[in-house]
A and B are shown apart, each in its own frame.
Chain A
């Protein structure tokens, strides 16, 4: 996993490579500096990475728009829309929100609970199917 890359050696290397921007008073800045590097080690990425992800998001959005523009219909349409949606969501959460560099404890705490929404969707699909056929049978083409 990507999280395992923030090991001690790397963090130490990062800290060593950090320039100290405020050498005003050592007593003042030392703890702050430590807190900065301790939290931040995973968050020091080159700007190019963000621009690349930005580009990917643009391309994926354009592609999902083109699905509508060229009137792709049926199962292919739904598959494409969902694939592009999930790819975009994944890129935003993993890179922009830095989830890929968080500790596993936080990753699991945030990403696992939404999985139970699948159960809700399944139940409501069954329910709406029931409502639909009730309407057809008892109201004809009712509201």
Chain B
């Protein structure tokens, strides 16, 4: 099916019901209308949002269970500021690796946002390069996380069932939450590289529809979004 019937409807829709497109009235009109709720929204984008909503709940369950075990333990919680400190130049700097990881992921979000922008302008070269840059930032992030895990397991002796620094729940929360997030980043890198190669080969030129890049971008920004919460609630709290 071509995009013709899909595009014809929303255009006439807004022209006919122009007053209804404002405020809560548009909300009520969209939800009570026939057949289609998310008007003028690409189905893939709506589906990605719904998936991200479900993923929000998955991560929220992890973070809430972390809150529960942390506030119910009578043993002191290991201080993340010291656990994740790195000694650079003979002086321990608190949380520095995590800070760098945060900046890497934010930078990847920035390049991805620009990739989406260039995709809609049909600048295939810039889109591809920016998506590859995003994937490279993501791979860097995963690499740093692997380094962090190795340091924690080998040097600090943290295990999912215990650690020498305090509450045994620290290990299980840490590996569960950051592991699941790292898995998301790894999948995102593969996803982005797939879409980037298709953009480079001109796969979307035929229909001229670059919505896929924005959908991939939504997933990537979500990965960054989850890290914002993990950084604040696990590492800084």
Indicate which residue in B31, B40, B53, B168 contacts A38 across the interface (CB closer than 8 Å): B40
Closest chain B CB from A70 CB (angstroms):
10
A39 to B39, alpha carbons, bound, how many Å?
10
Contact A106 B46 (CB under 8 A): yes
Q: How far is the CA of A8 from the CA of B221 in the complex (A)?
A: 29
B208 x A89 contact (CB < 8 A): no
Cβ contacts under 8 Å, B81 to chain A: 68, 71
Do B116 and A43 touch across chains, with their CB atoms under 8 A apart?
yes
Assembled-state Cα–Cα distance A115/B116 (Å): 29
Chain B residues 1 to 37 lying within 8 A of chain A, measured CB to CB, are 2-4, 6-7, 10-11, 14-15, 18, 21-24, 26-27, 30-31, 37
Instruction: Tell me the smallest distance from the CB of A9 to a CB of chain B, in Å.
Output: 10
A17 within 8 A of B: no
How many A-B pairs have beta carbons closer than 8 Å: the answer is 210
B99 in contact with A8 (CB, 8 Å): no
Q: B residues 85-106 with Cβ under 8 Å of A?
A: 94-95, 99, 102-103, 106
What is the CB-to-nearest-CB distance from A39 to chain B, in angstroms, rounded to a whole number? 6
Q: Is the CB of A105 within 8 A of B67?
A: no
Q: Is the CB of B68 within 8 A of A141?
A: no
B129 adjacent to chain A (CB < 8 Å):
no
SS class of chain A's interface: helix, strand, loop or mixed?
A: helix
Interface of B is mostly: helix
Q: How many residues of A contact B (CB 8 A)?
A: 75
Residues of chain B touching chain A, judged by Cβ–Cβ distance below 8 Å, are 2-4, 6-7, 10-11, 14-15, 18, 21-24, 26-27, 30-31, 37-42, 46, 49-50, 52-53, 56-57, 60-61, 64-65, 67-69, 71-75, 81, 94-95, 99, 102-103, 106-107, 109-110, 112-114, 116-117, 120-122, 168, 205, 207-211, 214, 217-218, 221-222, 224-225, 228-229, 231-233, 235-237
Instruction: Contacts A98-B214, A143-B75 known; list 14 others, CB within 8 Å.
Output: A4-B22, A34-B7, A36-B209, A36-B210, A39-B41, A58-B103, A92-B228, A96-B224, A102-B41, A103-B40, A105-B30, A106-B49, A110-B53, A129-B72
